[in-house]
């Protein structure tokens, strides 16, 4: 695995803090209230003030890539007003600190944190105006950073915009969450991705690829109905995006479905031209777990995009985490194959990890052998895909390897190899403490994946 990227991925709202500093305007996360099992989003792991220390840990581990998110509301006031120069300067310092440590920066432009003004006044990505605002913001960021940042993604886990989770992450705060609205959001986001990717390719020498959350779905039984349901989920929530990322066109099955259901989606010739011109330098995805689908539980007439809302079923052959995520390294190998063998573009898994409830005794490193086992088996599966299946993989990025808030705001669900000393409702001292897995991962990276013991 020559020229291979080993690294860490994060998002701004789960990591930064500094919610009311540096001229930042509000995002939808900044006004969410804490609950029994979730923090507010104001401080996260305070990377806003600790990034130099955190990057020292990345350097010590031997990492050579860090994927982070630019906060739209930190860089553009309210998402559609003037540029906040102080926000750009913060990310300048962050990028320069990475490069000084020989760590390649990778920018994600949107990770669910819609500027509050654009959510409340325009309903997020269902609005063509918000699409224009996002493209404007993205071009400003590209113009500012592309001389130093050579790897980019637009939307984190873009296929979530093709599922019932789309409304929350798109800044959609009012409406009946209809199937038409879901498909409108999905198309608008794809148009935004295409416009930004095409601009980056036109103006810079940087690389960009689409990203999706790849949940491996198996038939729950040997029933042909279950097998077909699993295939339809892949077609509508994975291959439809990958077709657009790779070939500049939507899946024929999805187009036929939209026509058959008579979904009235606003699609312009200009938007379809942008999509048709789209190309990707790599295809990236997150992978954590797999599940199964039981077609008998899906109400008749349900769109394939929503099958998992009704028919998801645990796999009795796999172990599950406390949060019901089923550990499946072979599924990871299969996903790498499904993407590469179909599209023949370099594949880049940029999120992988296991969330576990952990407490530090204040003295001894956390003995997280379960995390070592999880990453070891997934790295082995990736290596098998590379060496035995011929898959071209350009890197492996873990998720939140310095503890951050989970996607639901739960600090108790920890992914890191470095413990951050805070809880959901007590910030404590935010001390960083390497876990047992830290020293194992350091050995893995410094041997380029050869020493997994």
Using CB atoms within 10 Å of the CB of residue 451, give its burial: 0 to 12 exposed, 13 to 18 middle, 19+ buried: exposed
Q: How many CB atoms lie within 10 A of CB 74?
A: 27
Q: Which of 351, 359, 377, 388 is catalytic?
A: 351
Measured distance CA(127)–CA(136) in Å, rounded = 14
Which residues contact residue 364 at a Cβ distance below 8 angstroms, ignoring those fewer than 6 apart? Answer: none
Q: Which of 16, 157, 271, 274 is catalytic?
A: 157
Which residues contact residue 56 at a Cβ distance below 8 angstroms, ignoring those fewer than 6 apart? Answer: 101
Measured distance CA(221)–CA(293) in Å, rounded = 8
Q: Cβ(283)–Cβ(242) under 8 Å?
A: yes
CA separation (Å) from 243 to 190, 210, 250, 305, 339? 11, 10, 6, 16, 10
Q: Cβ(294)–Cβ(226) under 8 Å?
A: yes
Dihedral, CA of residue 296, residue 299, residue 304 and residue 310, to nearest 10:
-70
Whether 53 is a known active-site residue: answer: no
Whether 52 is a known active-site residue: answer: no
Which residues contact residue 299 at a Cβ distance below 8 angstroms, ignoring those fewer than 6 apart? Answer: 310
Q: Which two tokens stand for residue 131?
A: 């699409």
152: enclosing H helix or E strand: strand 151-155
Measured distance CA(231)–CA(225) in Å, rounded = 10
Q: Which two tokens stand for residue 69?
A: 């998110």
369-387 helix and 436-446 helix, angle to the nearest 10 degrees:
20
* Residues designated as active site: 157, 351
């Amino acid at each position: 695995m020559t020229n291979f990227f080993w690294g860490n991925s994060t998002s701004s709202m789960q990591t930064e803090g500094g919610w009311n500093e540096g001229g930042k305007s509000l995002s939808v996360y900044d006004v969410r209230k804490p609950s029994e099992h979730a923090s507010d989003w104001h401080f996260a792991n305070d990377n806003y003030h600790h990034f130099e220390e955190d990057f020292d840990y990345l350097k010590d581990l031997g990492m050579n890539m860090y994927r982070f998110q630019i906060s739209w509301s930190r860089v553009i006031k309210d998402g559609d007003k003037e540029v906040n120069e102080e926000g750009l300067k913060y990310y300048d310092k962050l990028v320069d600190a990475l490069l000084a440590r020989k760590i390649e920066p990778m920018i994600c432009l949107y990770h669910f944190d819609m500027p509050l003004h654009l959510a409340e006044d325009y309903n997020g990505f269902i609005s063509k105006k918000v699409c224009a605002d996002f493209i404007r913001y993205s071009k400003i960021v590209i113009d500012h950073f592309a001389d130093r940042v050579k790897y980019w993604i637009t939307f984190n886990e873009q296929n979530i915009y093709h599922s019932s989770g789309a409304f929350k992450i798109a800044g959609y705060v009012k409406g009946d969450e209809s199937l038409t609205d879901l498909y409108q959001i999905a198309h608008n986001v794809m148009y935004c991705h295409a416009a930004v990717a095409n601009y980056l390719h036109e103006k810079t020498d940087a690389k960009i690829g689409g990203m999706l959350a790849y949940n491996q779905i198996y038939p729950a039984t040997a029933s042909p109905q279950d097998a077909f349901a699993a295939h339809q989920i892949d077609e509508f929530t994975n291959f439809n995006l990958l077709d657009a990322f790779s070939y500049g066109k939507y899946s024929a099955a999805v187009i036929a479905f939209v026509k058959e259901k008579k979904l009235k989606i606003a699609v312009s010739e200009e938007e379809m031209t942008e999509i048709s011109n789209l190309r990707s330098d790599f295809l990236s995805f997150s992978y954590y777990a797999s599940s199964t689908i039981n077609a008998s539980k899906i109400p008749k007439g349900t769109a394939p995009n929503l099958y998992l809302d009704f028919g998801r079923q645990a796999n009795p052959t796999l172990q599950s985490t406390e949060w019901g995520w089923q550990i499946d390294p072979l599924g990871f190998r299969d996903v790498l194959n499904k993407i590469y063998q179909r599209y023949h573009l370099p594949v880049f898994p940029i999120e992988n990890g296991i969330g576990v409830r952990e407490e530090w005794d204040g003295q001894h490193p956390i003995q997280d052998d379960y995390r070592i086992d999880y990453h070891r088996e997934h790295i082995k599966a990736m290596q098998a895909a590379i060496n035995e299946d011929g898959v071209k993989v350009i890197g492996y990025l873990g998720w939140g390897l310095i503890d951050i808030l989970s996607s639901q705001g739960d600090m108790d669900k920890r992914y890191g190899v470095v413990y951050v000393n805070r809880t959901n409702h007590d910030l404590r001292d935010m001390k960083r403490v390497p876990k047992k897995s830290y020293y194992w991962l350091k050995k893995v990276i410094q041997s380029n994946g050869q020493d997994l013991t």
